[in-house]
Amino acid sequence: MEDPLAPYDFALPDEQIARFPPPERHGGRLLYLGPGLGEDHPVLALPELLRPGDLLVYNDVFVQKARLSARRQPTEPGRVGGHVEVMLASPLEEGWWAALLRPARRLRSGEVLRCGRGTVELGARLDETLWRVRPAPDAATLCEEAGTLPLPPYLGRDAGPEDEERYQTVYARRGALAAAAAPTAGLHFSRALLERLALRGVARAGLTLAVGAGTFLPLRAKQLEEGKLHSETFWIPPETWAAVADARRGGGRIVAVGTTTLRALESAAGPGLGRTELFIRGPHRFRHVDLLFTNFHLPRSSLLMLVSAFGGHDRVMAAYRRAIDEGYRFFSYGDAMLLTPEAEVSDSTDRAATPQTC
């Protein structure tokens, strides 16, 4: 049977996984994938690659300490219950959350785990990876008292003091929506870089998408068959939706900071609260985004499929091979790409090849 993810596979040397952030937020490299085969820049050069009137749209979600250390109730007096890691993935309703539990083999629906001074009640299994759980007194309190930052498993380490600041964007804001993973493209933006973009005449606007722990999971056959991803909640303020329309009217381009921002914009029919299961893979007609600023993603992942749908599969995979050859750093704390859509490159190529008449 043909492997549908084989075209999105690549081999990455272990030393090119960025396990720690660069000394400065804006200190990474940037591969600009425009009409050519790719140009190397520092991230600080981003303002020069954009135009006055462009609009930068970013995900301002706050990453909560969603990895909880819990224990089962002991089966005998004087014994200590077994340890269970609870990763809160995304809110459901009335205090219930979808969560990843590990180890989960012997857990039962109805069981109550002790977690710090609170508890986690187990509901039914949602699928082969997620459970329905109810944190008490509530998720935010439990995360602050007993949680740690949920660094991606491929970093191979626990969160340290530096991650408290660096695994959070400078524009993150606490609100009704919180995330189990950072919108990592935004980690490159320092206040100094934002100031340089403003001086260039690039406007900016925020939206919120609650990045779920499902982003850490490998794609499942059911997702590929149904064309749906894990569900995530987003909020697009009316002023952000208006800013997108104003930029369009003024000839500016919409620059999505990260795949989460792009997914929210492409899922929305207007401002307000929504949920999305949108699985973007080629071919896909993009309605709202003209440029994508993003990190280098895991092989065989939905994020790489999204980037390939936007920039063109062959073009993006060639850029990844170049990035590997030239020592770019990959994944959450790694370097960045800025890419134009495949359609734009095709149009410019067609125009160049068409004889001009007077």
CA–CA distance, 68 with 65 (Å, rounded to integer): 8
Tokens of 100: 């990843």
Taking the domain 67-148, which CATH number applies? 2.40.10.240
The whole-number pLDDT of residue 349 equals: 44
Sign of CA dihedral 298, 301, 303, 308: positive
219, 5 Cβ separation under 8 angstroms = yes
Per-residue CA distances from 70 to 51, 89, 117, 139, 233 (Å): 50, 16, 10, 13, 26
Q: What's the confidence (pLDDT) of residue 350?
A: 46
- Residue ranges, CATH 2.40.10.240, the chain: 67-148
For 160-179, what is each residue's pLDDT tens digit?
999 999 999 999 999 888 89
**Going by DSSP bridges, is the β-strand pair 228-236/62-63 parallel, antiparallel, or unpaired?**
unpaired
Cβ–Cβ under 8 Å, residues 184 and 332: yes
What is the location of CATH 3.40.1780.10 in the chain?
A: 27-63+168-351
- The contacts of residue 165 (CB under 8 Å, 6+ apart) are none
Q: Which helix (H) or strand (E) holds 165?
A: helix 161-166
Q: State pTM to two decimals.
A: 0.91
Contacts of 157 (CB under 8 A, 6+ apart): 19, 151
Give the per-residue SS3 of 233-273. Answer: EEEECHHHHHHHHHHHHCCCCEEEECHHHHHHHHHCCCCEE
Which residue is associated with the tokens 């690039």? 202
Fold observed for domain 27-63+168-351 = QueA-like (3.40.1780)
pLDDT on residue 115? 94
Can you list the residues of the chain whose pLDDT is less than 50? 348-358
> What Å distances lie between residue 217 and 87, 152, 181, CA to CA?
12, 10, 12
What is the 3 state secondary structure string of 304-354? HHHHHHHHCHHHHHHHHHHHHHCCCCECCCCCEEEECCHHHHHHHHHHHHC
Structure-token match 């539990």, residue found: 101
- At 344 the pLDDT is 66
Chain position carrying tokens 């997108």: 244
Contact assessment for residue 232 and residue 211, using Cβ atoms and an 8 Å cutoff: yes
The DSSP bridge pattern shows strands 62-63 and 178-179 to be parallel
What's the CA dihedral at 44, 302, 331, 315 to 10 degrees? -60
CB-based contacts of 6: which residues, under 8 Å, 6+ apart? none
- Coil, strand or helix at 147: strand
CB 126, CB 113: distance < 8 Å: no
The two tokens of residue 348 are 């410019």
